[in-house]
Amino acid sequence: MLMVIFGAGASYDSAPSCRAPPNANSKGQYWDLRPPLANELFDDRAIFSSAISRYSRIQPIIPHLRHFSSNSSVEQELEKLQTDADEDPVKQKQLAAVRFYLQEVIWKCQRVWNEEVAKDVSNYKTLLEAIRHWRRSQDQSEPTYLVTFNYDKMLEIALRSVDVRINDLSDYIASEYKLIKLHGSVDWVHPVADKITWTDMVSEVIEMAANLKISLEYEKVDLDLSSGEINKKKAFFPALAVPVQNKQRYECPVEHVNLLRDCLSNIRKLLVVGWSATEQNFLQLLSEKLSGNPQVKVVSSGIDSAKRVIQNLENAGVKGNLVPSESGFSDFVSQHFADEFLKK
């Protein structure tokens, strides 16, 4: 059974015609449109700055999220905010505003990236085609598991190329391709039970954050990709995990997580693409549930980065035949390295 784990680096290097720069300090072409890595989530880009101007509650914390020290990160800064929010209602409003901000900027960034740069061609689609062909040639009846930590909808869009369409939450795990989004999605929300006057729904939800009655249920909302607006028929709270260093829980329907737990002992091929392997709760799950010495291929920005990911996996006790890829995501799929890994 095959599993593919995707992190932010996969979307960052998702367009083969505009490959990711060799290192994170090199902005490269279309930097202001490229899907961001974690430390770039609050960069001074036009799309991001426009959203920051609308979410006034996050404006006081932007310097911390843009100009952190060399031994810190966006995730560490947001973890401080989350810790402080336990006792500070203003911090709770800031944290709620961060969720709405992330929902908007990732959604809009993905849309503009696809329309103006990728133009509907993505490495996700090419990888899925390789998997489809491999499944057919091997007469694979077992499902393929796609696990992502990304909020964007690139995988959902790519799945259409293998005739899988996701219209509601049950569709994520209904086909032979099981898509599990552990950190939530830009189009997932939690319903809010409180009465909202609708003068400005988002602002009201943010201001009421400390006392909101937020349902644990998940709903998938309609997206107008041409305008970047959400169909606001009722009050909601974004169902996506704030990127902190030590995440306490998944932002994902429990039946999706249970399916993931149940499949891990049967995984024989594991492909890791653009994931840094720093989410401790998921690393622990892999360490506990993976068995049988699976083949593990790690694709990052290059071989040195892939080796660091392997070190993180090994330090967490993840077992298997762990091999780093010398290439990034674009070369891995375009040069048929993905096909070679699948056929082994």
Is 90 exceeded by the pLDDT of residue 238? yes
Alpha helix (H) residue ranges in the chain: 8-12, 46-54, 62-66, 74-85, 89-112, 123-137, 154-159, 201-207, 254-263, 280-289, 303-315, 329-334, 337-343
List beta partners, residue 219. 189
Q: State percent of the chain over pLDDT 70.
A: 93
CA-CA distances (angstroms) from residue 219 to 22, 177, 180, 184, 185?
Answer: 38, 21, 15, 11, 11
- Establish how many alpha carbons lie within 13 A of residue 306's alpha carbon, considering only the half-sphere containing its beta carbon: 21
CA–CA separation, 92 and 243 (whole Å):
15
Is 80 exceeded by the pLDDT of residue 291? yes
Is 70 exceeded by the pLDDT of residue 244? yes
- Among 14-28, 92-106, 250-264, the range scoring the smallest mean pLDDT is 14-28
Residues 6+ positions from 197 with CB-CB distance below 8 Å: 204
* DSSP string across 124-174: HHHHHHHHHHHHHHTT--S-EEEEE---SSHHHHHHGGGT----SGGGGGT
What confidence tier does 31 reach under pLDDT thresholds 50, 70, 90?
A: confident
CA-CA distances (angstroms) from residue 296 to 42, 104, 319?
Answer: 33, 34, 9
**Domain regions of the chain by residue span:** 2-16+120-184+251-343, 38-118+186-240
Residue 114 DSSP one-character state: I
Residue written as tokens 């995440």? 247
Q: Mean pLDDT across the stretch 92-97?
A: 96
Is 50 exceeded by the pLDDT of residue 229? no
Q: Please say whether the beta carbons of 24 and 343 come within 8 A.
A: no
The predicted model scores a pTM of: 0.94
List beta partners, residue 321. 295
- Burial (0-12, 13-18, 19+ Cβ within 10 Å), 81: buried
* pLDDT attached to residue 225: 37
The domain made up of 2-16+120-184+251-343 has a fold known as: Rossmann fold (3.40.50)
Q: 3-class DSSP state for residue 333?
A: helix
337 versus 140: which is more confidently predicted? Answer: 337
pLDDT tens-digit profile of 135-148? Answer: 998 877 899 999 99
pLDDT tens-digit profile of 45-94? Answer: 999 999 999 999 999 999 999 998 888 899 999 999 999 998 999 999 99
CA–CA separation, 9 and 276 (whole Å):
8
* pLDDT attached to residue 24: 59
